[in-house]
Chain A
């Protein structure tokens, strides 16, 4: 049974969909209850994955069965997780029940279809994280797109059609390019004697620089749109603002991670040389994103848009860390992905709470809410602080490791500029918090607001707990992902290491002249592990 744990987790929501189909559309309570139950069960089923995961660099819970064979194209149902995808799977199953709960009362129209969309989305996201077959990944990648399109387009706000179409087309452009690149890559693989789309074998395929460049660009563009990176980010504020709360939460917490995960899982290890070549460009865009999004967030009038722009800034940090190509940078990037899921997810929930009460998100409509809603105020404050990366909360650990890692790599000056983002994030978040929560409670409409109810508090509590746990005791998270990160660092070492990059490698405690090993994928893992050295032993 445990061999099929991943599949079970991934397809449980689909079973839920089947169940929902048999429930009359007017029994909204039942529909909601069933959807919630399905997501909760999915989460519970995913927990043995976490506990059963062995802390090493291997892919685990593997399942590999024939699926489609059409002429030269052989696709297999090939899934498995390592330390990198493990946490994203858990994050997904963890966020989904909260998302279902978040629009418990806000969505009254077409509840049945809404819940079906959410569950389909969950399967799509989980599938994308566990796929070890390029084609399977692509399928899941596209499967995610459609429910999200409907969630924004049907249950969204005033401008929902524009936002939904923009979201769809932006993502589609990238996906199609990725599809072309994927097929091209597959033929390269056939030439090298591969017989299917299995991802792991492609890591050993060291393509020539020109091919790598083109393929990398295609993949990178698709992922960059999803992240989103400056200047491809403009779909995000619209999509976030129009989407219902659950949509925003899922979008921020998980869908965006698809982009950064794509880099970590595909673009970097498949095309390491090209990735290195484009590092200055991508790091520059990431840093521009951090500063740019912060400045734009500062002047937003709509709370939700402000949070959306803050997402762009946070994801800029993730990209910077990933492209540092060293342990701290990538670990920080991975942690920040999780942190962002927790903190920004929580922020969208919070925005949802007040929107549901006041049907406005304009900052100027609020003020002095602290007096009226003390519990809300406390929770909002904690989440705000986590978003600006205050030490003791989750946001800090990720941000710090990212900056440290990129500072040690060739991206030193990028790290310096990015560090100033810590100032700006404090400016826009605290200013918003002040205008919404502090001051006189002078708007009569705000004077009758009720504080959070039990359901809302129940949604927030797990997130608050994670904010502190990941901030104070992040080591369990780091330990599980560490071997996979080390492996990635080894995999992405450039072949012709230039003199400039040498010190960056030495810093990792790896032997400097160490040749990049093409067959790094599975057997050579042990070579990467001794990089963890106790600094105190050095002296």
Chain B
């Protein structure tokens, strides 16, 4: 019944080929953009059909492997091109193709008139293809193909404006940091394959086989090593500490790219991967702790940086890093469904925010361009008061902001609150839970602060560009606005399929549909937990309500501070900067992490390379080689006098020889 799932990645691939090979000749933007969007729409429709087919099956039968052909066979190793259909991959393809389609449509408007329009759409389709391989791949290696493929597309799209050095640098940085993660992914794959094989004679990298045999694995030990390797991979792809620094730089790419790749889909691949291999991670308490702590720290750390950035996209980038931190926090507390749930709601509201910021930048850019101003169209200090000029953009942006800030009733509230509750109440981390919850709650407050700071600086107050330029500000065309509206609507209502238990009970026992739907995927972990983990302390519903109230309160405080500083009393930020110059400088400069990495890794590597080349290759090895050659030359320089060709020289040597031989016999 899933026989045609291979169509899902195939459509975007065809789109990629058409636009990539013929796009330059087609020229017509509507046709190119149409092909790109249509390809994704087709995938989306097949995805819908697939998930409906899946839902028609009883819970325990909702898993299928669909093989296309054998890819690599060598000895006991086997990897197929084959797809895995289960609730988790289905929810992912729905997000990827659904949000992806909206962003494709938006791009037709946004990229209008750009040089290399066809190139953009072919890359975007290639990205969709790779991402779908990643989530549909039924084995580690095929997932890795998608994993690297999305990295490549990210590289190509970040470097889309390749004539800018900063864009090229950012693309390279993204690729290399991702490769550091890939190194971990590969090692994890090797170790898992090798261990399962030599210890239990299970030679496989297929997810369903691994899951079915996961009971053979021990707790901790080798599993900790394997999962930590995979987690390193996740930190690269999903921009977690210590490999997060590429994501803010990735904002060099066009804004739809930031929305699609660097917010809604690719960067969540790490979360998906942990969800896919939850049965491994649950078996290592140590790794779970590392995941939770890294997630919590990233959530908080990135949020602090977000408070001091002035580039509208950079604020959103740090926000993305921070929100991804939440997802890892969830994964690290064993709340896999909650993590995936936040992945989904985040895809809605963050895509909406990025696209909204894109609309703002687009409008600002045109306005500034008209008056030949070279002011930065992305700098919020140049914006202000856009509310009246772009009402629809403002409204959708505001809704998404409320969602991310965690105001009750909006999608972000449900997913974030579920994560915070799990951080507090999970049975894995003992007293660390309080810290995890604290970091999460504090980050929630900061999130509310910097997001409303962004809204206030952009849409409220006085417009800070010249009045002449101001007249050219305008609302975006429908092709841009409609995706915004759809995403904003999803940001509002998307959370209701996953109501937290206490809220569901309040409304007459509405179940958490989302968690229930994902149950078959996480059943191995559930079984393991039932046998092994210490039982969770019983927490009363009152406590849950109390914590929920507290997190809402923290968010409201954040919003209030933002309102005070950026609407009521706009002198406050300057006073704050004047009072704490060092702190502001550190935050503004992202805590100097980039500089630290340059100092620790980049520069030493280059210096070492130079030393090995000029020092070792040229001096030592070639020194020996040329030295030997010179010695030989020197000897032959001496010996060649023996064959000078002059008779008298030979006569002399003969005479000398005779004397020596005679002398020897005489004096013996």
Contacts and interface: CB of A to CB of B under 8 A. Distances in A.
Interface of A: 166, 169-170, 231, 233-234, 237, 292, 295-300, 326-328, 331-332, 368, 370-371, 374, 385, 390-392, 396-397, 400-401, 403-404, 407-408, 412, 415-416, 419-420, 422-423, 426-427, 430-431, 434, 437-441, 472-475, 478-479, 482, 503, 506-509, 531-536, 538-539
Which secondary structure characterizes the binding site on chain B?
helix
Interface stretch (B159-167, B258-266, B318-326, B490-498): B159-167
B17 to A, nearest CB: 12
B74 A426 contact: no
B233 to A, nearest CB: 12
Interface stretch (B198-206, B429-437, B446-454, B585-593): B198-206
Interface in B563-598: none
B163 A368 contact: yes
B180 interface: yes
**Helix, strand, loop or mixed for chain A's interface?**
helix
B542 interface: no
Contacts of A412: 194
Contacts of A237: 617
Interface in B149-200: 149, 152, 155, 159, 162-165, 167-169, 171-172, 175-176, 179-180, 182-183, 186-187, 190-191, 193-194, 197-198
B609 A295 contact: yes
Contacts of B213: 539
A430 B76 contact: no
Interface stretch (B140-148, B297-305, B361-369): B140-148
A29 B180 CA distance: 51
A397 B72 contact: yes
12 contacts: A234-B625, A298-B609, A327-B75, A371-B163, A391-B149, A416-B187, A419-B186, A423-B180, A438-B168, A503-B198, A507-B76, A536-B209
B611 to A, nearest CB: 9
A426 B179 contact: yes
Given A416-B187, A503-B198, A507-B194, A535 B77 contact: yes
B606 interface: yes
A45 B321 CA distance: 59
Contact of B613 (A296, A328, A370): A296
Contacts of A296: 609, 612-613, 617
A439 B171 CA distance: 12
* 6 A-B pairs with the lowest CB-CB distances in the bound complex, closest first: A327-B75, A535-B203, A391-B145, A295-B609, A438-B168, A299-B609
B536 to A, nearest CB: 33
B644 interface: no
Contacts of B505: none
A408 B193 CA distance: 9
Contacts of A473: 69, 71
A426 B75 contact: no
A536 B629 CA distance: 59
Interface of B: 24, 69-78, 141, 144-145, 147-149, 152, 155, 159, 162-165, 167-169, 171-172, 175-176, 179-180, 182-183, 186-187, 190-191, 193-194, 197-198, 201-204, 206, 209, 212-213, 605-606, 608-610, 612-613, 616-617, 620-622, 625, 629
A532 B73 contact: yes
Contacts of B78: 534-536
Nearest to A510: B75
A186 to B, nearest CB: 29
A439 B163 contact: yes
A503 B190 CA distance: 16
Contacts of B155: 430
B83 to A, nearest CB: 16
A508 B76 contact: yes
Nearest to B205: A535
B295 to A, nearest CB: 24
A234 B62 CA distance: 59
A506 B190 contact: no
Contacts of A385: 152
A408 B147 CA distance: 24
A462 to B, nearest CB: 17
Nearest to A425: B179
A498 to B, nearest CB: 17
B162 A370 contact: yes
Nearest to A162: B626
Contacts of B609: 295-299
Instruction: Choose among A166, A385, A434, A539 the residue with the greatest number of B CB atoms under 10 Å from its CB.
Output: A539
Contact of B605 (A233, A298, A439, A503): A298
B183 A423 contact: yes
B148 A391 contact: yes
B163 A299 contact: no
A415 B165 contact: no
A328 B629 CA distance: 42
B187 A438 contact: no
A439 B165 contact: yes
Contact of B172 (A328, A400, A434, A536): A434
Given A401-B74, A430-B175, 10 more contacts: A234-B621, A296-B617, A297-B609, A298-B606, A327-B76, A370-B162, A407-B194, A438-B165, A482-B74, A533-B76
Contacts of A416: 187
Contacts of B179: 422-423, 426
A507 B193 CA distance: 11
Contacts of B197: 408, 507, 535
A300 B614 CA distance: 10
Nearest to A431: B172
Given A431-B172, A508-B75, A538 B202 contact: yes
B74 A439 contact: no
Contact of A408 (B71, B194, B605): B194
Contacts of A534: 78
A474 B81 CA distance: 12
Contacts of B71: 472-475
